[in-house]
Structure 1
Amino acid sequence: MKDCSRDFSLYIHIPFCVSKCAYCDFLSFADSSCMASYMDALCRQIRAAGVKEKRKVSAIYVGGGTPSLAYRHFGDLKKAISDVFFVEKDAEISMECNPESVTPAFIDAAQSFGVNRVSVGVQTLSDALLKKIGRAHDRTQAINALDKLTKVFPAVSADVMIGLPGQTMENLQESLDRLLTYPLKHLSCYSLILEEGTPLFEAYKHGEFVSDDDFAVDLYDEACMRLAANGFSRYEISNFCKDDCVCRYNTSVWQYADYLGLGLGASSFLKKEGGATFRRIRNAACMSDYLSDPSLAEEALEISLEEGQKEFIMLGLRLSCGIDLVRFREIFGVDFLSNYGEKLSKVKQYFCYKKNHLSILPQHLYISNSLINSLI
């Protein structure tokens, strides 16, 4: 698997959507009336940040929200980035989009921006389920979007959700089988999380549907088997790829690389290796505050050496290849086994230790949270 642990990446947040999904608690808005002002503030923040961070950029991830809605501003966004950052020639430039916003104008703007990887929020190809979770698209729009995107972009990923209210095994199988007819390089299978304050959580609380964790596991198993049979490898708990076409940005985050978060509520992680400094910075999450001063930080947190090690373990053990123990020493200046060997000895039957990597055995990924907690 690709080593992205020394990457420096940009995450760019565009928080506007056509509508708010019933399960979503992300920082996003259905009202895009301030989009032009927001994109102007975002470009100002990028230029100011580029003066401070003079490193080569290995990956750019444009997320949201629905970034594809802001296609008219991609030219200004690209100029702001290129004016102050050196983006490597082979950098991954990834962008999220939703099927209803995949138009010829968006595709042209994304190509001009340099996008070489697109992630499409399909979730399911069941119209009944899409309506139930409040998605703005239907099956036909999802299929049309995939038809267009796979003809243009070298890497296309699709998101699928598991454990939706009323989802059947047949729903999942049919959605996956249809998606697998496309030349997708990547597929993510995310379990539904019922977040307090969302319409779907309220529906669950009022008994409108039952959440069945055991059946969700069965659905996940089915997804794993179907994807494996079609040449996909699971490289992270929820992510699968062909031809080692991992999401470089996400992989760098799991491998504890530095990234700069730009946009409303976006977070940054910056460190100095050898156990010196670890910092997490969160941008202002209030739109009016951000528009008036996009460089304003809502929170700046210094991370201790011990907390940094815990984060490294927690993130890295999500990956099938696990954590790189040589990289652990480089970052923290200490030996992993010296610090965690005693705890590891109590659960060693669940782990694989190979070529300076420690990983959770595939059959035990279901209890990964428990295993990680036993170490940290």
Structure 2
Amino acid sequence: MLHRALEGIRVLDLSRILAGPWCTQNLADLGAEVVKVEHPQRGDDTRGWGPPYLDAADGSDARLSAYFISCNRGKQSVCIDYGQPEGVAQLLELARHADVLVENYKVGTLKRYGLDYASLKAINPRLIYLSITGFGQDGPMADKPGYDYVFQGMGGLMSYTGQPDGSPGAGPLRTGVAVVDVSTGMYATSAVLAALFQRQQTGEGQHLDIALLDVAVALNANQGANYLVSGKNPQRTGNAHPNCAPYEVFRCADGYLILAIGNDTQFARFCDVAGRPDLAQDPRYVTNSGRIEHLTELRKVLTALFPTRSRADWTSAFDAAGVPWGPIHTMEEVFAHPQVQHRQLRQVATHPVTGEVPMVRNPMLPANPQPLKPPPLLGEHTGVTAVAAIAAAR
């Protein structure tokens, strides 16, 4: 089972916020031992990113922010101040026995303490050292910091996300979750797993350089390819798809739904359900390319058509005819959905201080997973003897 795939792999996690911790949480979920190194007073910044917080079940002052919970389960927390010589010595000892180190400090920060890749490679040539930064390890902006929001804009994602000019609420819009950070964590996970596989063949570690800007540019996917092929900047189209039509949100008599037509056959079936088979024969709309070219006219027809029926009427007819559609759920509706419940996506871990900690199952792992380990309290596993034991465990 995948939850034991990385048993025996030790990860030293010097990362904070989301991209790095998302990667190391994946590694922990896959069975790696992850030691999260935190500042003795502040810890990971996201410990204070609330409300909401999960308060201690025993009535103490201990608490976990929901943000921190989302990306730090299954880890040990050790407080080490690497600004002090003894802290550097502890980290060096941990690195000597680690398989993977993950850090997301500004370029050059860890080098000042002798904790850069070149220094650690000298004592552990098998170490896989992952650096996550905003702009990468080199280039004219390598020394600059940056957050997810910055790269959603700089990487192009926000330029075509939002309502088009002339519409209510027009303007660039970010996604509702830190999609660049999360995607960076996933790319970083893949890179670490590939490096571990390569190390089996070569016996050597390596330095992995993952940049949020690089990921943001890659995330443009078909929109980036659209530009490279056509030379035209993608425009904001609200909820409409740039390459498929009709593929967007429509308002019914009592709510909204997503109509997701992916080919001409599906469009013909939709037209039959809608009582407008003539639309599928209209030369403007017979092909997907034609529907994209004449989307303004088609949208006017459909926008007037959908409010004539309830959402339940439409969706039951769509299901019967094989027309792709989707709901727009609140979080409450998401976790109450029978398919989500069947897939056991909501999981609960138990912490001795905070009690039950609700979390989301890692989609890489199957349903009916092994019991999850909760995220740690700040410094929960700290202590000279604990650090020494971790370092000497091999």
TM-score bracket for the superposition, by shorter chain length: under 0.3
**TM-score computed with the length of structure 1 as normaliser:** 0.26
Larger-Rg structure: 2
**TM-score when normalising by structure 2:** 0.25
Q: Which has the higher contact order (CA 8 A, sep 6+)?
A: 2
Q: Which has the higher strand share?
A: 1
